[in-house]
Amino acid sequence: MAIDSLTFSARLQALSLPQFQSALPNIKHGVEREALRVNPNGGLATTVHPTALGATLTHETITTDFSEALLEFITPPEQQARVTLAQLADIHKYVYENIGDERLWPMSMPCFVNSETNIPIARYGSSNVGQMKEVYRKGLHNRYGSMMQVIAGVHFNFSLSDDFWQAWCDLHQLENNVDNRSTFHFDLIRNFRRLAWLIPYLYGASPALCQSFLAGKEKNFPFKKLGVGTLYLPFATSLRMSDLGYTNSEQSSLNICYNDLQSYVKSVRVAINTASEHYKSFPSGQNGEWQQLNDNVLQIENELYSPIRPKQVAKSLEKPSDALEDRGVSYIEVRALDVNPFSPLGIEETQFHFLDVFLLYCLASESPKFTSDDFDESESNLDKVVLEGRKPGLLLENASNSITLVDWANQIFVDLEKVAKQLDTANNTVSYSQAVATELKKVNDASLTPSAKWLDTLLEHNIDNSRLGLELAQEYREHVSALNYLHFDEASFVQQAKDSIQAREAIEASDTKSFNDFIEAYFA
């Protein structure tokens, strides 16, 4: 049987079978939450990564992203959303206890930053791999500027169990193997990209930003001003996802293919091996000077900006594309989520339930292969929604046919409700249907979206983005600090920190190659 021969209705009906009902509770999630450290006055912290938080190169749960000040908290894969949230709360609590009087910024768009030179690039030690991570970040600074790199997001990792994949492959009369599971994952990814506009509409929370972020670029957008230095777009949902945020002009010319694993890997490898005239001016090892890893369109695969990624757990120094080619796709990383500013942890339980429904719907729905026009259409829809998603009557394109966002979303939610019922039955709950009902209200009343609620608060009180962010940062610090540890405890975090430092030192002691030779071998 062809892998795409079953209709959505047939697949939906199959989810009620015993083999699927027993497998659906085994969906696993992990969260990667980013947060800037800020001073009590709301300015960016310029202190080094605290020793009590361990070595960022090797710590299992606490690391940094672009900057020393941009923390990243990582939870392991878990079935229950409440477990993941409890783990995330424990990490937050320990961090608050070890960053002095600093706070964690509760928003995606950064706090007031006086100058890009005030943003310290993350350090990972003296090992070759640590230096590689630092040079990569220097390259990001030179290519796009540091401001863009201190935007924070929440990444949602989603994986289906082995018993689900066995049942799913049996349903399609296919062998349960790496190739077929990867093909199904890419079906899911294509549908997610078609409908990716829905995520910033529902969860975008960055309609406004501090004027310091733009450094003159505000002239390119019809911004309005409020307070002392806040700029906003009246109908924006997620400026983080716009051309002001995670963008790369060089990447617009890439033809990354999402039709199958082999095409995806091939197109990514082309990008990391294609020289760019724009980046030639930055040294990449000439005379021992490293301002980027290379002058290619992408230094490494992590530089590819995408709202969703196919993932495979990589071995030490293994390239993501090599891991995917060797062992296939094992989970999905959703990267389209703004930090939820109304949650002390940056994400809420109802988001887990809705995303489970949405991703399962993307898998179960028919997923034609992308043409270049299809991909361009999906990108255009996403661009429209992040900039003006709450605009009444906003038109999107669905297979070249114009349709309002509200009408299209309501059509999607009819099927999401059906998927939610299957997950409810399997988990003996109503949480999935309740999550879908909550999000449907936002579709039909844009004032309920996080972006509208955030902007309405700013306008009602005529206050700056940064002031509201700082008030919440203080409130969340007090709230989380008062919680009890539930899954981890202070002693375990202290031990993790010690273990991570020892692991980093062991890596540094084991280096035998020069950095030049190390980089040459990595890219060989």
Q: So what's the pLDDT on residue 255? A: 78
In a domain, 520, yes or no: no
pLDDT tens figures, 469-494: 999 999 999 999 999 999 999 999 99
Bridge partner residues of 3 (DSSP)? none
Question: Residue 389: which of 196, 108, 118 has the closest Cα?
Answer: 196
pLDDT tens figures, 288-310: 999 999 999 999 999 998 999 99
Where is average pLDDT lowest: 111-120, 149-158, 400-409? 111-120
Q: So what's the pLDDT on residue 1? A: 47
Q: So what's the pLDDT on residue 115? A: 83
In a domain, 521, yes or no: no
In a domain, 121, yes or no: yes
Q: So what's the pLDDT on residue 316? A: 87
pLDDT at 4 over 70: no
Which residue type, as a one-letter code, is found at position 211? Q
Domain carrying residue 440: 8-514
In a domain, 524, yes or no: no
In a domain, 1, yes or no: no
89 — pLDDT class (breaks 50, 70, 90): very high
The alpha carbon dihedral of 52, 53, 59, 65 has a sign of negative
Q: Mean per-residue pLDDT for 108-112?
A: 93
In a domain, 176, yes or no: yes
The pair of three-digit structure tokens given for residue 50, joined into one six-digit string: 């605290």
Question: Domain of 151: which CATH number?
Answer: 3.30.590.20
pLDDT at 2 over 90: no
pTM for this predicted structure:
0.96
In a domain, 460, yes or no: yes
pLDDT tens figures, 400-411: 999 999 999 999
Question: Residue 244: which of 210, 275, 217 has the closest Cα?
Answer: 217
3 — pLDDT class (breaks 50, 70, 90): low
E-strand ranges in 163-258 read 208-210, 224-226, 230-232
In a domain, 80, yes or no: yes
Q: Mean per-residue pLDDT for 141-168?
A: 96
Q: So what's the pLDDT on residue 116? A: 85
Question: Residue 85: which of 389, 353, 448 has the closest Cα?
Answer: 353
User: What is the overall mean pLDDT for the chain?
Assistant: 95
Q: So what's the pLDDT on residue 244? A: 79
pLDDT tens figures, 186-223: 999 999 999 999 999 999 999 999 998 987 667 778 99
Q: How many domains does the chain divide into? A: 1
pLDDT tens figures, 243-273: 876 555 666 667 789 999 999 999 999 989 9
Sheet order of strands, 230-232 included: 208-210, 230-232, 224-226
Q: Mean per-residue pLDDT for 337-359?
A: 98
Q: So what's the pLDDT on residue 369? A: 96
- Render the burial of 500-516: b for 16+ CB within 10 Å, e for the rest: bbebbeebeeeeeeebe
